[in-house]
């Protein structure tokens, strides 16, 4: 796990130029771009495919069956584009769907993302304040998250803060829109009031709001984002993938607003110039 502004990776991640695995990445929308940026730092010679399911966001306020079906649709789409590995760059989809995806495609490598509870608690000194967790309602209610908390959080002070509507605000208004920031301030204030000294960003959309989060909880509070840990795991698994004939590249699809995706991609230092249309299949039609 890393601080919110990770150093550029080097070393084994800079694989030989002729080793160009194809990695598919999906999220309910824009948040997975933060994971995509970490993947590109770790695997600069990989072919990266990104699918933003913005028309069906937010996943965090849907039931498990819905999230599982959308995850299947996106996995099938990315496989059709040549993906050899799938990165589930969404905490809610990881919590509710990755087990089903692995069962359906047992030979396909999947990498999921989870709130950084373990490193947050491991790094916490005895005198530190509570660890705060910002996440979607679905992530906090999931059995996967509860098991993670039970395994690593015994005896620790952990403040769980659900953020209903925040992903939708980011997707429809943008991360810097005043209504988005006002909603964020409301969710962050209880963490400040509780004296949290670490805050886990439990949704890939939330790193897009780093400055605004710090403005509420304070500059001294550690913000933990698992994006680089996800990229490191993908890097390890990619070593076993056969190189494709096509070299490095970065392609993005969305069924939402392309202009907003491009603005967020630019903020993440991702050189995405065009956004292709992602089919808007409904769960019933998939």
240-249: burial string, b at 16+ Cβ within 10 Å, e else: ebebeeeeee
The CA distance from 147 to 152, in Å, is 9
The one catalytic residue among 22, 163, 203, 268: 203
The one catalytic residue among 22, 90, 188, 268: 90
The verdict on whether 196 is a catalytic residue reads no
The verdict on whether 90 is a catalytic residue reads yes
CA distances from 236 to 9, 110, 118, 165, 230 (A): 13, 12, 20, 35, 10
CB 135 within 8 A of CB 203: yes
Closest by alpha carbon to 153, among 176, 180, 132, 179? Answer: 132
Q: Collect all residues with Cβ–Cβ distance below 8 Å to 212 and sequence separation of at least 6.
A: 181, 184, 185
Active-site residue list? 90, 203
């Amino acid at each position: 796990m890393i601080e919110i502004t990770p150093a550029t990776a080097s070393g084994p991640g800079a694989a030989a130029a002729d080793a160009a695995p194809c990695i598919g990445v999906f999220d309910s929308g824009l948040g997975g771009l933060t994971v995509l940026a970490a993947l590109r730092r770790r695997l600069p010679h990989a072919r990266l495919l990104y699918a933003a399911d913005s028309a069906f966001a937010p996943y965090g306020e849907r039931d498990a069956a819905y999230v599982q079906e959308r995850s299947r649709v996106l996995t099938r789409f990315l496989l059709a584009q040549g993906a050899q590995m799938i990165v589930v760059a969404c905490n809610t989809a990881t919590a509710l769907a990755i087990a089903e995806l692995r069962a359906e495609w047992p030979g396909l490598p999947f990498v999921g993302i989870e709130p950084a509870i373990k490193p947050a608690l491991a790094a916490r000194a005895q005198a530190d304040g509570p660890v705060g967790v910002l996440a979607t309602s679905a992530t906090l209610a999931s059995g996967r998250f509860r098991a993670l908390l039970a395994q690593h959080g015994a005896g620790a002070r952990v403040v769980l803060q659900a953020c209903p509507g925040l992903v939708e605000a980011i997707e429809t208004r943008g991360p810097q829109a005043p209504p988005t920031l006002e909603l964020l301030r409301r969710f962050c204030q209880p963490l400040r009031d509780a004296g949290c000294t670490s805050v886990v960003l439990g949704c890939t959309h939330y790193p897009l709001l780093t400055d605004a989060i710090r403005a509420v909880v304070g500059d001294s509070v550690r913000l933990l984002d698992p994006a680089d840990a996800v990229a490191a795991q993908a890097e390890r698994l990619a070593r076993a993938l056969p190189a494709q004939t096509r070299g490095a590249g970065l392609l993005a699809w969305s069924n939402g607003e392309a202009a907003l995706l491009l603005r967020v991609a630019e903020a993440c230092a991702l050189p995405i110039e065009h956004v292709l249309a992602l089919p808007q299949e409904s769960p019933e039609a998939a």
